A and B are shown apart, each in its own frame.
Chain A
């Protein structure tokens, strides 16, 4: 079917074509810029520590290790078992500390409290502290992200 009148003028068509091409060119510039601006930062799948560094920990105490760029805490429980947490508050990302006398984790930024199992019990934190999987294998203390084989 041939239209009696064209929907747009030749000038409009060319402007659209040229403008569209220019826009697409700009977007193609934007892509590498965005890739550059956001660096790849992957959380580690696992970290391997020396178990000997943690063997002599007192019960009901914690020890810091590096979980990528974040601090992690290895906690020795009352029954002698070991747990690992990401020591970062689930509210706004401050580093938390463990207070053995009260058997609670505490975030000083906005008064956030967690019990000794890492469950949020007071203040603004919306979720429990993140637990990591902890395996003792011979001399190694292996700490893994959940879901990593």
Chain B
């Protein structure tokens, strides 16, 4: 009896039950188009890399973190000072979240500009927008967990924002805070969102997103598709995976370098009765929203300025979600205008962010 025969027998035993050979065959035959915009294909798997790092480091941080009013800040302090390697695990978790969000922005913008969301990939885009939303929610809830002055004020502002939305707003604020005000209950609730509720959502959305990408295949550049050109292709396995690994290793190197040299700080425990500290700021990815809220005047035609600002932001988000349906004539004038809007949004967000730092 030879070993090879045994291995094949075991394989076919599992295949009979799992039917895995279909997936293996699919991955073997999967092809990645090669063209001048192929670089953007790597942004998706970069997000996935940082997501996996978040899951692993998140599991580790939970071992020592206490989500209570009295202990939260202390437990993070202990993690930073007493637990071997605690500081670097927290630093990687913190930096990797920024990298993940940065790549999510790049990924979405590249899809917007190359119009990869056009028919039949509208739902892939929409699931992606939801994924961005959940990712930002992860960032927002995670920011509170160390429970220092900065994170408390940022959470007070962030959870008060929905209040301006008519009818449902007040209830959203209450739901997020676990009451009228930000208290210890909010901290426990945010911990629950961060480690339990949001992960369920992100895994479901990720499954839908990845399934759609596999089902519909990679999008081709608009021009090549219109001229029905034959585009060069690269096998997914092993050629493309090798190239992705190179990108991953470079990103890992950058991540570990910044995580080692620039670990996140921890201020003294938040005091619910203390005034907001000067120079409060949300995470960098919310700075442009922060600046918009800051520059809106108190009243615009008898309506609260921040209500107007928040409703405009909400409207922009809805338009962004339905972008593939609005951009239904990609090669015509309308399509070009929508691409132009992508560049305008980038400039707007960068200007607002820089302004908020001045």
Contacts and interface: CB of A to CB of B under 8 A. Distances in A.
Interface of A: 37-39, 41, 43, 64, 66, 68-71, 87, 89, 91-97, 106-111, 120, 123-126
A106 B181 CA distance: 20
Interface of B: 153, 156-157, 159-161, 171, 174-175, 178-183, 185, 272-280, 290, 293-294, 296-299, 304-306
Contacts of A69: 179-183, 272
Interface centre among A66, A92, A96, A111 (most CB of B within 10 A): A92
A93 B273 contact: no
A95 B174 contact: no
Given A93-B160, A124-B293, A124-B296, A41 B180 contact: yes
Nearest to A89: B276
B52 to A, nearest CB: 31
Nearest to B298: A126
A138 B278 CA distance: 38
B304 A126 contact: yes
B275 A37 contact: no
Nearest to A87: B275
Contacts of A89: 276
Given A95-B276, A108-B279, A109-B280, A41 B293 contact: no
A92 B181 contact: no
A124 B180 contact: no
Given A94-B157, A126-B304, A108 B278 contact: yes
A41 B181 contact: yes
Q: Which 7 A-B pairs have the closest CB atoms?
A: A97-B275, A41-B179, A69-B181, A71-B273, A93-B160, A94-B276, A108-B276
A108 B297 CA distance: 16
A144 B297 CA distance: 32
Given A41-B179, A68-B181, A126 B156 contact: no
Given A92-B161, A120-B298, 5 more contacts: A39-B185, A87-B275, A94-B280, A108-B278, A125-B298
